Amino acid sequence: MLRPIRIAAPAEPLLTLDDVKEWGRHDSILEPVTFAACISAATDLLDGWNGILGRCLVTQTWAWETSNMVGRYLDLPFPDVSEVILDAYSATPVRELVYDTGSLTSVGPGVFCTDAYLSGAEPGATSCRLEERNRCTRLRLEGVAPRVPAQESEGAVRVIMTAGYGAPGDVPGGIRVAAFLLAQNWAENREAAVVGTMVSTLPYTVRSLLAPHAVGGI
């Protein structure tokens, strides 16, 4: 199994400077460029495949290549997946591919297949569905059989996933507040460690805000 690659970033940031001005002390945003960088760093810490939450926040698109389509279901690497496109693996870099769901075969709510994928599936492929589980979204293949790879190699199947809570306002408040607190802390304390204070990986308040939303704990 290969690691997912993000091919479409969120259309909007998790937080903006206007959010910071509304929530925070005005003296903490005297340097907007610095604070914007801290917001970006906080988002990177929390969001996506490398984020500590193990999930996507604002809606974004990822590509995942796997040869694990051996059963009647496939556990996707993220929860909150709203759309999936199944494609056969090809040598074309995934970032160069363009998918139009209007030209694909719909096999269930939010699930689409390319002709290349269906050509390797069992005849009579009809339907599948997305199931939200505790730590991931499961793609259950009810009528669409797994595509059997021609040879044993990673990347036999390409899965394009749209994942996330939705717009920035749809992301749980605890996550957004935690991101703001992290950004504000980094903007005000720019050294690696502050003399005379206790150092922790994450401030307790931030950890408490994030814990209910983390996949597998933090």
Q: Where are the domains of the chain?
A: 16-55+168-213, 60-163
Q: Which range is least confidently modeled, 56-60, 68-72, 125-129, 137-141?
A: 68-72
* DSSP β-bridge partners for residue 59: none
Asked whether the beta carbons of 50 and 211 are under 8 A apart, the reply is no
C-alpha span between 215 and 211 (Å, rounded): 9
What pLDDT band is residue 79 in, cutting at 50, 70 and 90?
A: very high
pLDDT of residue 195: 52
Could you say which DSSP state residue 145 is in? P
Q: Backbone dihedral region of 135: left (phi > 0), alpha (psi from -120 to 50 degrees) or beta?
A: alpha
Measure Cα distances from 177 to 22, 39, 43 in Å.
Answer: 12, 11, 11
Q: Does 73 score more than 70 pLDDT?
A: yes
Q: What is the mean pLDDT of residues 122-131?
A: 71
Greater confidence (48 vs 142) lies with: 48
